[in-house]
């Protein structure tokens, strides 16, 4: 069975790069290219133009509904064209919602039985357009793994996607075991490296899923700052050193440093790395 991927697409360069990177990591997948249509249901330029031709408010609302739908369909179709060119079996899906677009994308992934969600880390404005802040919301709400692709992804990053290993943040918890299982399922044939952040001389317990994997021990330096930031930096550095295709982190960990490693560090890794990050929910 091909991987069933849900792609959040808003027409931005970041969303386009997410499709390119996702296609390298999930070759020959089936992709739903989703444009979540939210108020005010049309771009600023479209609404400005329609104001000059509308007879009254009711007419303006009707024009925005009609022209906004056409604009939304065109955006989704452009995403499908990119996904098809990347050798995905792609279908468009325009979904209208009055609420959070990040939450809606997470809900659609459940309804469509998605294996993973793919989003870019920045939207049209470069900071908080559709797939900027929304990528954070998707990571927060989704129950399936979420691949967040940074923008811009440099040439070295794209080259690593082809054959690079997968680095998995690991602490021996159930969440870490699930992250490792998801990495094996979604990236078959890839070399897996388990990156375990150690606090002092404490050993990291190795669960059943990790017994045959390569384990890398990363030691927390003393007095180096907030544990979550340091742990995220160590994982990012490890991924860079091994030229990883993707960094995988879980959303739930154990107590103290382990809770940090696979809890708040998931968000930290997404914001601090220049490589794709897969967040797996426990």
Q: Give me the percent of the chain exceeding a pLDDT of 70.
A: 80
pLDDT at 131 over 50: no
Every domain of the chain and the residues it spans: 4-149, 155-280
With a CB cutoff of 8 Å and minimum separation 6, the contacts of 55 are: none
Number of neighbouring beta carbons within 10 Å of residue 240? 16
pLDDT for 85 equals: 97
User: Cα angle vertex 209, ends 170, 160, to 5°?
Assistant: 60
Question: Which CATH code fits 155-280?
Answer: 3.40.50.620
pLDDT digits (tens, 9 = 90+) for 221-273: 765 655 667 888 889 999 999 999 999 998 754 434 434 344 577 777 887 88
Helix then strand then coil, % of the chain, to nearest 5: 45, 20, 35
Phi, psi torsion values for 147, nearest 5 degrees: -95, 115
User: Cα angle vertex 278, ends 272, 282, to 5°?
Assistant: 115
CATH topology match: 4-149 vs 155-280: yes
Q: Range with the lowest mean pLDDT among 105-114, 162-171, 261-270?
A: 261-270
Class of domain 4-149: alpha beta
Q: Range with the lowest mean pLDDT among 102-116, 150-164, 189-203, 239-253?
A: 189-203
Q: Range with the lowest mean pLDDT among 4-8, 137-141, 178-182, 251-255?
A: 251-255
Binned at pLDDT 50, 70 and 90, residue 185 comes out as very high
């Amino acid at each position: 069975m091909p991987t069933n991927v849900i792609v959040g697409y808003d027409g931005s360069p970041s969303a386009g790069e997410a499709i390119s990177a996702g296609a390298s990591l999930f070759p020959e997948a089936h992709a739903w290219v989703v444009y979540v249509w939210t108020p005010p249901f049309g771009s600023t330029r479209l609404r400005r133009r329609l104001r000059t031709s509308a007879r009254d408010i009711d007419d303006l609302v009707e024009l925005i509904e009609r022209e906004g739908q056409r604009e939304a369909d065109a955006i989704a179709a452009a995403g499908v064209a990119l996904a098809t060119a990347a050798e995905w079996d792609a279908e468009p899906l325009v979904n209208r919602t009055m609420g959070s677009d990040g939450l809606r994308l997470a809900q659609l992934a459940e309804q469509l039985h998605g294996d993973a969600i793919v989003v870019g880390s920045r939207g049209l404005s470069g900071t908080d357009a559709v797939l900027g802040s929304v990528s954070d919301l998707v990571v927060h709400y989704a129950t399936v793994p979420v691949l967040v692709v940074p923008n811009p992804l440099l040439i070295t990053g794209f080259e690593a996607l082809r054959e690079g290993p997968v680095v998995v943040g690991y602490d021996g918890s159930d969440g870490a075991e699930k992250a490792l299982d998801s990495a094996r399922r979604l990236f078959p044939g890839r070399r897996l490296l388990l990156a375990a952040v150690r606090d002092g001389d404490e050993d990291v317990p190795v669960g059943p899923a990790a017994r045959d994997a390569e384990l890398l021990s990363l030691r927390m330096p003393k007095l180096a700052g907030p544990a979550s930031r340091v742990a995220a930096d160590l994982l990012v550095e490890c991924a860079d050193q091994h030229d990883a295709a993707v960094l995988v982190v879980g959303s739930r960990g154990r107590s103290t440093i382990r809770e940090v490693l696979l809890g708040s560090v998931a968000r930290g890794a997404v914001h601090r790395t220049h490589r794709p990050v897969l967040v797996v929910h426990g």
